[in-house]
Amino acid sequence: TVYTSHTQLTKRQYDIIIIGGGTAGSVLANRLTENSKVSVLVIEAGADTKDNLSVQVPFLGSTLPGTAVDWAFTSTAQSGLNGRTIPYARGLGLGGSSAINLLTYNRGSDDIWNSWASITGDSAWCWNNVKQYYLKSSSLVAPADGRDTTGQVDPSVHGSGPVEVSVPGFSLPIDTLVVQTSKQLGGRFKYNVDFNSGDFTGVGFMQSTVGGGERSDANTAYLQPVISRSNLDVLINTQVTKLVQSGTSKLGPIFNIVELGSTADKNNRSQVMALKETILSAGVIGTPQILQLSGIGPSASLKSLGITPLLDIADVGTGLVDHPMVANYFQVSSNGTWDDVLRDNSLLGSTLGQWQSSRQGLFVDSPANTQGYQRLPAGSSALAGIADPAAGSKSAHTELIFVDGFAPFGELTQPATGNYLTVLTAVVSPTSRGSVTLASTDPFAKPLINPAVLTTNFDILAMVQAMKDAQTFLAAAPWQQDFKPVAFGDLANAKTDADKATFARNNAVTVNHPAGTARMSSASSKSGVVDSQLRVKGAQFLRVVDASVFPTIPECHIQAAVYIVAERAADLIKTAYGL
């Protein structure tokens, strides 16, 4: 049953309570209710997102931040960004961030998973073991245009799970140029037929969570198909305000009472109880916020806010890490870009009409069809004197995303005329670490989000290298016939490395890939928040399952890793309770 207010609940006890009906929460809701004897309640702060047209239409994903399906957070003033604050989008509603993201689907290099096994001292996180969960979470489907995709993707490395993944379904003029350039330049820009083979280096086609021209997210793929199961209740428009300790076992405090409220009626709280487990899947911001509101976190700082510390875990909310990103704009001579679609309402209307009537055309894809991942050149000054932050040789340091138009991801707005290319450059093995802390004890107040963007030498130097890579790539012969890209705006004057660094600090945002605020660590480690089975250290019957638990950030887009972690967590929970 779907409830829209906690006052409607007819039951107050469930075997398992999942906090957050987002990416991980939806996977758990599905898998844990496969056994009809287990009762599950999902509590989600937002509404159902499935009927939101901009959620459904892949191309319109970039218009979702700032709307009703976004928590619309803002970062603290960023010292690495010359004091700027940046918008910090997080999905609000069923499907969570998977319903508002830009759809890129990367499962992470073999290296990253093997490094997690080594960090946690638990070989079950190695790629050879988690591969089963990748195969179980997604499957490759035909692109919307049904064309022959031979050489653009390797079907043999894909699985048979509910999330639909495809290569772009509407070819753009620059796709061929990107591939030609990659094949001509080789080396760091070598053509990679399928990143999801486990080698995240080179240049290749974007794979996205799109099936039949529509977004495929955790809500549509995992939750909606099972939402009428009699052992599943989903409570929407309801925020978890804290966990309440019900007692103490010899293994530690038990936090199995969940306090609920809603923004519509903030003082009207009620409680539900988990008979087996409470699972926090409230995401990288929500999870450490709820833990701290519940007295679980760094005792001294909780005390200074007036919260009674119940379980001292220094690392709750520390370690926030995200991929910094800069939009590099180039003016082009070709009119083969989609710029006019964003400027001309009738063209926008007809393109949307084409999507509505036939699920064809520009809107079946995210704004980018191709991407690249590079390791820094040998001898790069960014790596001087530090351990290589990437997990291994199949993991990159930087990323390029090629957009056939003016992508609205920076400080600049789209000019009224002209044709543009955007190359989004990102640092995918950043070393900067920030935090999520409470601004107040009010659970409805936004927490302080400090992603510490570009605060290390490595991150800024790697970003400058990525910006230079973008220019090297676009200087290659295939671009000189028709497109003739010329750096646009302040980028045109950013000639030296120092100028480029200043440009990055004045313009960077993030790729919206935060992770690591309730990190996994080995059972014996004093750092971290959860053990390798995702149980909150020192607590009983309390797990975290979302991107907070990532011990390091994958050197690629991270949603696939969330699906994999959630699938594995579902198995861990089933095994723990013999379900």
Residues at the contact surface with ligand FAD, assessed by CB under 6 A: 19-25, 43-46, 65, 89-92, 96-98, 100-104, 239-240, 281-284, 286, 290, 512-513, 546-547, 557-559, 562
Q: Which is nearer to ligand FAD, 177 or 282 (CB)?
A: 282
Q: Which is nearer to ligand FAD, 48 or 531 (CB)?
A: 48
Q: How far apart are CA 460 and CA 497, in angstroms?
A: 10
Question: Smallest distance, Å, CB 567 to ligand FAD?
Answer: 12
Q: How far apart are CA 182 and CA 177, in angstroms?
A: 8
Residues with Cβ within 8 Å of 94's Cβ and at least 6 positions away in sequence, in order, are 21, 22, 26, 44, 46, 47, 48, 49, 50, 219, 223, 234, 236
Question: Smallest distance, Å, CB 20 to ligand FAD?
Answer: 3
Question: Smallest distance, Å, CB 339 to ligand FAD?
Answer: 21
Query: Of 490, 512, 511, which is closest to residue 502 (Cα–Cα)?
Result: 490
Q: Which is nearer to ligand FAD, 104 or 456 (CB)?
A: 104
Q: How many CB atoms lie within 10 A of CB 264?
A: 9
Does the annotation flag 240 for ligand binding?
yes
Output the residue with the shortest Cβ distance to ligand FAD: 22
- Residue showing tokens 């699938």: 567
**Phi/psi class of residue 442: alpha, beta or left (left: φ > 0; alpha: ψ in -120 to 50)?**
beta
Query: Of 319, 322, 315, 276, which is closest to residue 297 (Cα–Cα)?
Result: 315
Query: Of 205, 215, 219, 277, which is closest to residue 243 (Cα–Cα)?
Result: 277
Question: Smallest distance, Å, CB 462 to ligand FAD?
Answer: 20
One DSSP character per residue, 293-330 reads HTTEE-HHHHHHHTPPPSEE-TTTTEEEB--EEEEEEE
Residues with Cβ within 8 Å of 497's Cβ and at least 6 positions away in sequence, in order, are 464, 468
Q: How far apart are CA 87 and CA 66, in angstroms?
A: 9
Active site residues: 513, 557
Q: Which amino acid is at 394?
A: K
Question: Smallest distance, Å, CB 218 to ligand FAD?
Answer: 7
Report the binding-site residues for FAD: 240
